[in-house]
Amino acid sequence: MADVSDFDVLILGAGSGGYACALRAAQLGLRVGLVEKGNLGGTCLHVGCIPTKALLHAAEVADSARESEQFGVRASLEGIDMAGVNAYKDGVVQRLFKGLTGLMKSRGITFIEGTGRLTGPCEVSVDGTPYAADHVVLASGSYPRSLPGLDIDGERVITSEEALRLDRVPASVVVLGGGVIGCEFASVWRSFGAEVTIVEALPRLVPLEDEASSKALERAFRKRGIGFRTGTPFQSVKTTDDGVAVTVEGGEVLEAELLLVAVGRGPATDGLGYDEQGVAMDRGFVLADERCRTNLENVWAVGDIVPGLQLAHRGFQQGIFVAEEIAGLSPTPLDEAGIPRVTYSHPEVASVGLTEAEAGETYGADAIESLTLDLGGNGKSQILKTQGFVKLVRRKDGPVVGVHLVGDRVGELVGEAQLIYNWEGYPEDVASLVHAHPTQNEALGEAHLALAGKPLHSHS
Ligand code: FAD
């Protein structure tokens, strides 16, 4: 048995949730231990947000070269040098990794390398060595899930992890799953010249978004030559001499070089002792209340293992919250609907708050109104030659409860949108704010002007 309380806070997993908790706890003067079996930074930094966004930027550069003529610039796309793309992507990850490692050291956080298990109410054993702490934070993250009977071989049938390590641009890909990860990879590969078909069991791409956003993305993807089958469950896959043959419900067979399985992420909680110690769980997820408390005293849970949006910034915020709660600061719990969401495809889809359907269910269809402003009238969007919209949902005579955006670069607008939602802004409040011209931000301002009954440029 280890000495009582080696740490004030011991964190299991150094991904977005775990490391954010460690940094904030150390800042608040707590003795912090951070256990990690892989790399500091976890999924997001090494095989998630950062490398995928680097690929998407390379894809944007490829599109710019290919489409340069429409801007009067003579350039041509000679091809994609995947070794070069990967070197750029890995360079970004390594720089951030180095920075984060230095930050951990400078904050005096004890980094414990190895595989941890919860072995007591407030004890974690790392490769057999027990550490006791006053508080334990479970932050073991997630892994790419598959479907029953669908085996990932890592060669022809791959997940996002192998997709990020590919040393070539595949000639063709079937992407199983039209959620965020599936749509982002489909977008990258199409920009790099691959034939792409998305298979999605639900009736639309990015099914968690407002229906209008899904429709706009589908339109844009169709125009880009990205094929998709929605409302079409996967049935089976066979590997062939030169790829895969994917059979979907209804009998259609889609042949391609690769099958990317992007059907969601499962909680990484198996065999970690959570069950044995009596942590309340549901289908592998750790149940935590709005203050990130599990059913065990002084055992907390953050990030992808807790049911809800599996996003890095949610994990960060929960990690910070737990550190502050342990330090006695009584922070305000997170409103899940107030977490901004972005799909970084070409075009991007971004949102915060409720979809129109959710707002209708919450407040009653008669008690809400919505407004959609096309980006066609927005100068900067015209300059960028991007199409899309700003859609607002408000409670009648009340605050804005949902903001939905489609178009290149609109992910950057979600910063203002989340302030409006989280501060319960009224369209009238936003209408009086000045938006710089010409920016895409103006479209957000203009939409609020219109919803406040004083549209400047639109016809109504
Ligand atoms: P993780 O980041 O998964 O970290 C958990 C850590 O725990 C890991 O490092 C793991 O090695 C460690 N661990 C697990 N078990 C043990 C053990 N027994 N002992 C020791 N260590 C252990 N989110 C966004 O917000 N924006 C994006 O653009 C985005 N893009 C993504 C793209 C892809 C392809 C993927 C896969 C994910 C993306 N995400 C994105 C989601 C984001 O990566 C996750 O939400 C985030 O990483 C979750 O953080 P976490 O701390 O819960 O878990």
Domain that holds residue 163: 157-263
Contact 309, 316 (CB under 8 A): no
306, 367: one domain: no
CATH number where 321 lies: 3.50.50.60
44, 138: one domain: yes
pLDDT digits 0-9 by tens, 39-75: 999 999 999 999 999 999 999 999 999 999 999 999 9
Task: Please give the average per-residue pLDDT across 359-369, as a whole number.
Answer: 98
CB within 8 Å of 54: residues ≥ 6 apart: 88, 89, 92, 93
Contact 50, 92 (CB under 8 A): yes
Q: What whole-number distance in Å separates Cα of residue 19 and Cα of residue 101? A: 10
With vertex at residue 107, the alpha carbon angle to CA 126 and CA 102, rounded to the nearest 5 degrees, is 85
Q: Is residue 341 part of a domain?
A: no
**Amino acid letter for position 139:** A
186, 252: one domain: yes
Q: Output the residue whose Cα is nearest ligand 1's atom 40.
A: 49
184, 322: one domain: no
**Amino acid letter for position 20:** A
Q: How far is CA 62 from CA 58, 76, 164, 174, 257, in A?
A: 6, 9, 17, 21, 22
Structural domain count, the chain: 3
- In this prediction, residue 134 carries a pLDDT of 98
Q: Which of 300, 316, 336 is the last residue of a domain?
A: 336
210, 97: one domain: no
Ligand 1: does its nearest atom lie under 6 Å from the Cβ of 44? yes
Distance 49 CA to ligand 1 centre (A): 9
120, 246: one domain: no
291, 272: one domain: yes
pLDDT digits 0-9 by tens, 400-428: 999 999 999 999 999 999 999 999 999 99
Is the N-terminal amide bond of 347 cis, ω within 30° of 0? yes
Contact 253, 246 (CB under 8 A): yes
- In this prediction, residue 457 carries a pLDDT of 76
Q: Which residues are catalytic?
A: 437
232, 329: one domain: no
Predicted TM-score (pTM) of this structure: 0.97
Could you give the dihedral angle defined by the CA atoms of residues 233, 43, 313 and 163, in that order, rounded to the nearest 10 degrees? -50
291, 427: one domain: no
179, 165: one domain: yes
Q: Which of 283, 317, 336 is the last residue of a domain?
A: 336
Measured from the Cα of 19, ligand 1's closest atom is 51
**Amino acid letter for position 311:** L
pLDDT digits 0-9 by tens, 129-182: 999 999 999 999 999 999 998 999 999 999 999 999 999 999 999 999 999 999
Ligand 1: does its nearest atom lie under 6 Å from the Cβ of 440? no
Token digits for 387? Answer: 């199409």
* pLDDT at residue 460 greater than cutoff 90: no
Distance 301 CA to ligand 1 centre (A): 14
* pLDDT at residue 262 greater than cutoff 90: yes
135, 6: one domain: yes
Measured from the Cα of 116, ligand 1's closest atom is 19
Mutate which of 19, 43, 311 for ligand 1 pocket (most atoms within 8 A of beta carbon): 43
* pLDDT at residue 440 greater than cutoff 80: yes
* Confidence class for position 4, pLDDT limits 50, 70, 90: low
Q: Which of 284, 306, 336 is the last residue of a domain?
A: 336
